[in-house]
Amino acid sequence: MAYKPSPAQLPSALLRQVRPLRLLLNQAERLEHLQRLLESQLQPAAREHCHVASWRDGVLLLVVTDGHWATRLRYQQKRLMRELQAMEAFGNLRRILYKVQPPLVPAKRGGHAAALSSNAAESLRDTAEGIADPKLRAALERLASHARDKG
């Protein structure tokens, strides 16, 4: 008995036909719509630091990248609530909660940093010549030795 895979389908067709995927897609589209509405009321600098996590039972949960932005948004909370409540999608907004969650940053990989140009290395060597402190002079010379084109 041979296994016969189902015929390949476009991802968009799968997302529309399979119920769990369709529900997930609808939820993602709903959050994206709410995010756009939220961003229309935020200051431009705050937009990249604040994202809609959930909207349930009149409570809007926002994920903020750090405590600084959470504090700034809390100071503006009354204005933000008033402006969001004026929109149909947030008509029953009763509360805004903030959760601080730093962005996921990929772990630094061991490796080489950016190479130092020969012009920068020469400038470091010239600077080192005029330094009286032997430790600082040695540090500058070591740094200059990392030049891309040893010159």
pLDDT at 34: 96
pLDDT at 128: 87
pLDDT at 121: 85
Q: What averages of pLDDT result for each successive group of 10 residues across the chain (151 residues)?
A: 79 76 88 96 93 95 94 95 94 95 72 74 87 88 77 48
Core vs surface per residue 113-123: b (16+ CB within 10 A) or e: eeebeeeebee
pLDDT at 149: 60
Strand ranges in 73-119 using DSSP code E only, listed in sequence order: 95-100
pLDDT at 150: 53
